[in-house]
C-alpha cells in the first residue's frame, strides 16, 4: 500500500508523470525492438509495442509545449551563476541553460510543422532541437566529470599541517554528491548516445542504432533519473522536521 500511495503521489506531479511515460516508452521500444528482430512469429507484437512507444513519445512532446515558462524562470533565477564557487561549473551551467531554453521553441516549431500548423520544413527544426539537446547533454557530461574530479581531489588530498580531518558528516555528504554526479554522468551519456543517433546521417553513429538499442539507452537513462529523484525525495523527507 505504501508503494502504491507513493506512486500515486508521484503521478500527481508533472515531473512524476513525465518520468513514468518516458520509462514506459523506452521499455516498449526496447522490448518491441527485440521482438521484431526475433522473427515473424513475434514481429507483430513487437511492432505494436513500437507504435505504443512512438505515441508515448508524442505525448511527451505535446506536454513540453508548456515547459518554456518554467525553464525561463529557472534560467533567470540562476542568471550567471554567481552562487557557484567554481568558474568552470558556472559557465558550463549557464551555457547548458541557454541550450535548454532554445531547445523548447525549436521543438515546438518542428512539432507544429509535422502537425501542419506551420508550413515549414520540420526536419531542419528537429535537427536543430536535437543538436541543442546533444549540446546540453555534452555540457552536463563535462560538468559531472569536472565535479567528480574536484570532489575526488578533496577527499584524497593529503591533509595540510595543523589542519583537522574532514568531519564524518561532511565526508559522507561529499561521497553522496559524488554518487549523484556519477549517476548524472551515466544518464547523460546514455541520452547523448541517442541524441547523436537522431542527428542527420554522417554525424558519428547517427542513424545506426536499431530500435532496441535506442530503447536500451533510454531505459537506462530513465531508470537512473527516477532513482535520483527517489533519492532526492527521501533525503528531503529525512531532513524535514
CB-based contact 191:221 (threshold 8 Å): yes
Same structural domain, 84 and 201: yes
Q: What is the CA radius of gyration of the chain?
A: 21
Q: What is the pLDDT of residue 231?
A: 81
Q: At what angle do helices 87-114 and 122-156 cross, to 10 degrees?
A: 160
Same structural domain, 185 and 115: yes
Same structural domain, 218 and 204: no
End-to-end CA, the chain: 24
Same structural domain, 196 and 219: no
Does residue 6 lie in a domain region? Answer: no
Q: What is the pLDDT of residues 42-68, one digit of tens each?
A: 889 999 999 999 999 999 999 999 999
Does residue 1 lie in a domain region? Answer: no
Q: Which residues of the chain have pLDDT under 70?
A: 1-10, 158-166, 233-241
Same structural domain, 40 and 120: no
Does residue 83 lie in a domain region? Answer: yes
Does residue 4 lie in a domain region? Answer: no
Same structural domain, 125 and 16: no
Same structural domain, 88 and 177: yes
Quick one: three-class SS letters along the chain?
A: CHHHHHHHHHHCCHHHHHHHHHHHHHHHHHHHHHHHHCCHHHHHHHHHHHHHHHHHHHHHHHHHHHCHHHHHHHHHHHCCCCCCCCHHHHHHHHHHHHHHHHHHHHHHHHHHHHCCCCCCCHHHHHHHHHHHHHHHHHHHHHHHHHHHHHHHHHHHCCCCCCCCCCCHHHHHHHHHHHHHHHHHHHHHHHHHHHHHHCCCCCCCCCCCCCHHHHHHHHHHHHHHHHHHHHHHHHHHHHHCC
- For the chain, the domain total comes to 2
Does residue 2 lie in a domain region? Answer: no
Same structural domain, 192 and 228: no
Query: Range of 149's domain?
Result: 67-156+169-208
Same structural domain, 50 and 120: no
Does residue 17 lie in a domain region? Answer: yes
Does residue 47 lie in a domain region? Answer: yes
Does residue 29 lie in a domain region? Answer: yes
Same structural domain, 195 and 115: yes
Same structural domain, 104 and 191: yes
Same structural domain, 99 and 28: no
Amino acid at each position: 500500500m505504501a508503494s502504491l500511495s507513493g506512486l500515486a503521489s508521484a503521478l500527481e506531479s508533472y515531473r512524476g508523470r513525465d518520468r513514468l511515460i518516458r520509462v514506459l516508452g523506452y521499455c516498449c521500444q526496447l522490448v518491441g525492438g527485440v521482438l521484431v528482430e526475433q522473427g515473424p512469429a513475434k514481429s507483430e507484437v513487437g511492432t505494436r509495442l513500437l507504435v505504443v512507444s512512438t505515441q508515448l513519445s508524442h505525448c511527451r512532446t505535446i506536454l513540453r509545449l508548456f515547459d518554456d515558462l518554467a525553464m525561463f524562470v529557472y534560467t533567470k533565477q540562476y542568471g550567471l551563476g554567481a552562487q557557484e564557487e567554481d568558474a568552470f561549473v558556472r559557465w558550463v551551467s549557464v551555457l547548458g541553460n541557454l541550450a535548454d531554453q532554445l531547445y523548447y521553441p525549436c521543438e515546438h516549431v518542428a512539432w507544429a510543422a509535422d502537425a501542419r500548423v506551420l508550413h515549414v520544413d520540420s526536419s531542419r527544426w528537429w535537427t536543430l532541437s536535437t543538436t541543442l539537446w546533444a549540446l546540453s547533454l555534452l555540457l552536463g557530461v563535462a560538468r559531472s566529470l569536472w565535479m567528480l574530479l574536484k570532489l575526488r581531489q578533496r577527499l584524497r588530498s593529503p591533509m595540510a599541517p595543523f589542519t583537522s580531518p574532514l568531519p564524518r558528516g561532511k565526508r559522507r555528504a561529499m561521497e553522496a554528491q559524488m554518487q549523484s554526479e556519477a549517476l548524472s554522468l551515466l544518464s547523460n551519456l546514455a541520452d547523448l548516445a541517442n541524441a547523436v543517433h537522431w542527428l542527420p546521417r554522417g554525424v558519428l553513429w547517427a542513424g545506426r542504432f536499431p530500435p532496441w538499442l535506442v530503447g536500451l539507452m533510454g531505459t537506462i537513462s530513465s531508470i537512473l533519473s527516477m532513482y535520483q529523484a527517489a533519492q532526492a525525495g527521501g533525503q528531503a523527507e529525512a531532513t524535514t522536521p
